[in-house]
Each structure stands twice: as structure tokens, then as C-alpha cells.
Chains A and B, each alone.
Chain A
């Protein structure tokens, strides 16, 4: 029965299946990185600098003679951590702020929402750049910066949901039993707002990875010698004309990962769309 359902789903949404497979593979690679990478990603082989893809170094080496393939494998850990970390932080804070804003209304709502409007008025990359520069350029701060920038998206989403959920009679019923605002928000409002948040979060992972990589690319994220895809593309850019593989392979890794998450996110959205249910 279950299997039949999955098979039907795969036929109906082949791209979602592709996305899911990509994510699963990348996740697995990140998990077993030390077991499958042929070299130490940080080990310098100064005699083997900038070698093209070949036998010993499958995808070639960088200007310090580090194995690119191993570095890309380890890079998946950082990118996944960045993507999941960013949407988790933004999602959690956004959900709390949005539900409080929507449920309490009045001045609280006004203040929170105007703050979010101010944040939304900046292009997200510019704001993330400024925040990350202000916090000090390292990988953790760049994740925090992007997460903060992404919060308004979730606040708006959850606030809208809250406005409709709070009119439901089960909220009124809880009030008649003397439930506190914290109780109502945490038990009644938030659990009933989560479906669209999950969709937004899965759709947002790809973009979050991209922004985190962009910050690393301009030197505000992961610092050398960390094996981060964005930083690797940035370094490889200098050698692009003569050593094309250096910037290209990390770039392809970013591309595949982001596409995987976007396909998966689209699938989740279709799955949770009430019109999909038969």
C-alpha cells in the first residue's frame, strides 16, 4: 500500500524524487566524508600545486596542492550546516515573532511588523553583507547574519496564518478555560501555522546555501583554509583562465546542491497543498 503510493508519487513528480535523491546523496557524503575522501582536505602537497584532474587527484589540486575532490566532499558539511542552520534559526525566531505579533495585535504588532518592513526594504544580500562584516568575518557569524536577514519572511508568513487561526473557535474555547496567552500561542496557534513554515523553510535552504556561499566568496564567511565551496570558487577565480577546474568543480557542487533543495522544496509544497490531496 505504502509502496504503491510512493511509486505513484514518483511517477507524478519525477523532479521531486530527483531533488530528494540529490539531498540524500549529499547528506550521506557529508556524513561519511572522512571515509570516502581520498586525501586530507587541509593537507598541503606543495609539489603538486594546480594539477589538472587525473589519477591521484580526481578533480585536480589547488594552488597549495590540496586535493579538490576531498575539499569538495568536506565542503558539503559546511554548506549543509549553513543551509539548515540558517532556515532553522530564521524559522524558529520568525515563527515566534510572527505568532506573537499576530495574536497580540495592537502596538506589539505594529512595532514588530514595522521593524520587519525596514529589514525587507534592504536587498537581503546587502543586509547580510553589512551584518556579517559588523559581526566579524567568520563562518558562524555569516550564518547568523543570513538567518537574521531571513527572519522577516517567516514573521510575515506566520503572522498571516496566526490571524486566521486565532479566529478559530478552539482558541476562543481555550480562552474560556482560562488559558494564558503563552499557552494559546504555543499549543494552539503555532502548531497550526507550521505547514507553510515547513514549505518556506525547505524552499529557503537552497537560497540560504547560495547566500552563505556568496558571503564566503567575498571573504565575509568561512576563512581559509576551511574547505567551503564559495571560498573555493573565489580563490579559483584567479586561476580560471589556465586552471579551469579549480573554480568550476566547487561551483558545480553549489549548483547541484541548490537545485536539489529547490526541487525538493517544490515537491514539499505540492505535497502539503490541499489541492493535491485525493
Chain B
């Protein structure tokens, strides 16, 4: 495969805890490494509060990184000069979860899509208008929407506008932060199909952040599972859904209700996610893990290689591999 378009290297994000004595802070994102290749969709799943949105914000430079580095096309974002950085950053765009909040209610649709163009050197008014029309037609919205306000549009239409805006600077990577979670199921499918179409036509890469496994499966070629700020398993989509290795992944998969499948829950969903303010010792998943041992309570497992595309961080993994070998 070619070079990754975006690489995260041991990225850490710590938030200081206000009012705490000393330099207390909590880690929202804990040593995450991830590669996204051109034309690829990487799904990022996890429960709310696991740090997946924070990761997206760091890619967008909306949150400073505490440690580690983010490389775009091999170039460190932190090292780039302000001008270069703007240019690089223009190639990464974001679509937020709730289009109600991501579109300024006082702007007309035309102004919303036009804003990034105005801010990035398109001086000519007519040229901008033509571009806006092209962008709207890419998301199947006609000229009649130009002068409307966001509140006159449905949720799906608004999300289309948000996507058109994200496309305006010809990005190579789009961070999709739960782009369908605020929409009706029928509209979700339309938006997902639109995203897939755009990806094929425009050779886009996506970082698809979601807690919805079905949606992730539909769109992603690779899936990273996050738990309390760490990636616990990463794998090709089919592989992950067919053969989940980490107990947390299994728990997530088994919690998806399935009409055709009558097998009982393999791993019951147990208890709540612990607070990131007081992370458990050792493997962060051990309080909820049915197979937790003393080892898990004391040491945090590293990501181990299963095959080139499949990595998992679990102490119990190698044993299982032996079991499957024994079966074969």
C-alpha cells in the first residue's frame, strides 16, 4: 500500500482537572497510534466518553496535543509554519454530529458553504457562487436552497449542507464525528450512501467516528476499537466482525441486537464504563472483563500483532491463539 495520508504517533491528550491540588489531570486519549491510507475509511468505535471525539478534534487542531505527534502526508503538523499549517489543515475537514449546532442559524445556506472559500482566498464573488452551486449539487441540493436558512431544512438536508461545506476546500481527509447519530434511520442510510459515493468520486479518506457498529461496518475498511482513551483492538472490518479478539470488542458486538441471529449474548454487557478520572490499574478493561486475571489487574497490555492488519491489546490473547491452533 502507499504512504498513509494521516498518521497518529503515540498521541496523548490530558485535560487538567480544575480545582485539584497539584498537577492532576486525566487522560482522555492515551498513546494512540493510527494510520489512515488514501481512499480508506477507518472506523473508530467506542462508548461515549472513551476519547474518540477528542481524537477527532486533535486531528482538526481544535484541541492541542499533550504528547506524541500527528503527521499529515508525512509532515508533522506541529512543525509546520502557520501558513503551511493552514494549507495542510485545509485538506482535513470535519463533519459534526449535530447539523443543528454545526450550521450558524443566522447564515443562509449559500453563506454557510461559501464561508470556507471566503476565508481561504476566493476573492471573486461570482466564482464563489459557482463553486457553491457545484458543491451543493454534489450533495444533491439544488440552487433553490442557496437563500434558505438552516431551520427551513430537514435534519438530513442540513447534514448534506455540512458535508458540502466540508468539501469546499477539496479536502483529502474528512473526519466524520458521528455524522448520522442525530438523524432518522431512513435518512442515515441516505447520508451513508452519499458519503460512500463522494468517497469513490473524490478519492476521499474518512476517519469515521461512531458508537454505532452497524454504521461503522457499512462504511469502514478498517476499524479501531477505543476504550478509555486507548485503542484496544484494530483490524480489517470483516475480520473484526467475524473474529473479535478483545473481550471488549466481543461485548460491543454481542450488544447489537440481531434479528437473524438467535445465539445468546456471548459476553454480557457488564456494568458501566469506569470514570476516566480514576482509571483502573493495569488493563483498563479488567473491572468489566470476564477473563480478568491477576496479570490484567497489574499490567496494561500492549498491542500485539495477530496479523498485519489485526492488532489487539489483551493479556489473554496468546492463550486463545494456542487454543485455536489446538483445535485446527
Q: Which of B60, B103, B107 has a CB less than 8 Å from the CB of A176?
A: B60
Query: Does A175 sit within 8 A of B, measured CB to CB?
Result: yes
User: Given the complex of chains A and B, what is the CA–CA distance between A174 and B198 in angstroms?
Assistant: 22
Q: Decide yes or no: A177 and B115 within 8 Å by CB, A172-B62, A191-B106, A192-B106 being known contacts.
A: yes
In B192-242, which residues have CB < 8 Å from any A CB?
A: none
Query: Does B49 sit within 8 A of A, measured CB to CB?
Result: no
Instruction: Look across to chain B and name the residue whose beta carbon is closest to the beta carbon of A179.
Output: B119
Q: Decide yes or no: A174 and B115 within 8 Å by CB, A168-B101, A169-B101, A192-B106 being known contacts.
A: yes
Q: Can you identify 14 A-B contacts, CB atoms within 8 angstroms?
A: A168-B101, A170-B103, A172-B57, A172-B60, A172-B102, A173-B162, A174-B115, A174-B119, A176-B61, A176-B92, A177-B116, A178-B89, A178-B90, A191-B104
User: Given the complex of chains A and B, what is the CA–CA distance between A183 and B111 in angstroms?
Assistant: 14
11 additional contacts (CB under 8 A) given A169-B97, A178-B120, A192-B104: A169-B98, A169-B101, A172-B57, A172-B62, A173-B94, A173-B102, A176-B60, A177-B115, A177-B116, A177-B169, A178-B86
Chain B nearest CB from A99 CB (Å) reads 14
Residues of B within 8 A of A177 (CB): 90, 115-116, 119-120, 169
User: Given the complex of chains A and B, what is the CA–CA distance between A178 and B165 in angstroms?
Assistant: 14
Query: Does B30 sit within 8 A of A, measured CB to CB?
Result: no
User: Given the complex of chains A and B, what is the CA–CA distance between A177 and B114 in angstroms?
Assistant: 11
Q: CB distance B98 to A176 under 8 Å?
A: no
User: Given the complex of chains A and B, what is the CA–CA distance between A169 and B107 in angstroms?
Assistant: 14
Overall SS of chain A's interface: helix
Query: Does A188 sit within 8 A of B, measured CB to CB?
Result: yes
Residues of A within 8 A of B97 (CB): 169
User: Given the complex of chains A and B, what is the CA–CA distance between A187 and B94 in angstroms?
Assistant: 20
Chain A nearest CB from B121 CB (Å) reads 10
Instruction: Look across to chain A and name the residue whose beta carbon is closest to the beta carbon of B104.
Output: A170
B-contacting residues of A (Cβ < 8 Å)? Answer: 168-170, 172-179, 183, 187-188, 191-192
Q: CB distance A176 to B62 under 8 Å?
A: yes
User: Given the complex of chains A and B, what is the CA–CA distance between A126 and B93 in angstroms?
Assistant: 54
A-contacting residues of B (Cβ < 8 Å)? Answer: 57, 60-62, 86, 89-90, 92-94, 96-98, 101-107, 115-116, 119-120, 162, 165, 169
Residues of B within 8 A of A192 (CB): 104-106
**Most-contacted residue by chain B among A173, A187, A188, A192 (CB, 10 A):** A173
Instruction: Look across to chain A and name the residue whose beta carbon is closest to the beta carbon of B165.
Output: A173
Q: CB distance A176 to B94 under 8 Å?
A: yes
Chain B nearest CB from A179 CB (Å) reads 5
Chain A nearest CB from B53 CB (Å) reads 11
Q: Which of A168, A169, A170, A183 has a CB less than 8 Å from the CB of B119?
A: A183
Residues of A within 8 A of B98 (CB): 169
Chain B nearest CB from A170 CB (Å) reads 4
Chain A nearest CB from B276 CB (Å) reads 20
Chain A nearest CB from B175 CB (Å) reads 9
Q: Which of A170, A174, A175 has a CB less than 8 Å from the CB of B101?
A: A170
The 9 lowest CB-CB distance pairs between A and B, nearest first, are A169-B102, A177-B116, A169-B96, A191-B106, A170-B104, A169-B101, A177-B119, A168-B101, A178-B86
Residues of A within 8 A of B86 (CB): 178
Instruction: Look across to chain B and name the residue whose beta carbon is closest to the beta carbon of A180.
Output: B119
Residues of B within 8 A of A179 (CB): 115, 119
Residues of B within 8 A of A188 (CB): 104
Chain B nearest CB from A120 CB (Å) reads 26
Instruction: Look across to chain A and name the residue whose beta carbon is closest to the beta carbon of B97.
Output: A169
User: Given the complex of chains A and B, what is the CA–CA distance between A191 and B57 in angstroms?
Assistant: 25
Residues of B within 8 A of A170 (CB): 101-104
User: Given the complex of chains A and B, what is the CA–CA distance between A267 and B93 in angstroms?
Assistant: 44
User: Given the complex of chains A and B, what is the CA–CA distance between A173 and B57 in angstroms?
Assistant: 11
User: Given the complex of chains A and B, what is the CA–CA distance between A188 and B102 in angstroms?
Assistant: 11
Chain A nearest CB from B159 CB (Å) reads 12
Instruction: Look across to chain B and name the residue whose beta carbon is closest to the beta carbon of A177.
Output: B116
Chain B nearest CB from A169 CB (Å) reads 4
Chain B nearest CB from A142 CB (Å) reads 35
Chain A nearest CB from B123 CB (Å) reads 15
Residues of B within 8 A of A176 (CB): 60-62, 89, 92-94
Instruction: Look across to chain B and name the residue whose beta carbon is closest to the beta carbon of A183.
Output: B119
Instruction: Look across to chain A and name the residue whose beta carbon is closest to the beta carbon of B111.
Output: A187
Instruction: Look across to chain A and name the residue whose beta carbon is closest to the beta carbon of B177.
Output: A169
Residues of B within 8 A of A168 (CB): 101-102
Chain B nearest CB from A72 CB (Å) reads 42
User: Given the complex of chains A and B, what is the CA–CA distance between A176 and B90 in angstroms?
Assistant: 8
Chain A nearest CB from B106 CB (Å) reads 4
User: Given the complex of chains A and B, what is the CA–CA distance between A57 and B236 in angstroms?
Assistant: 95
User: Given the complex of chains A and B, what is the CA–CA distance between A192 and B169 in angstroms?
Assistant: 26
Instruction: Look across to chain B and name the residue whose beta carbon is closest to the beta carbon of A192.
Output: B106
Instruction: Look across to chain B and name the residue whose beta carbon is closest to the beta carbon of A189.
Output: B104
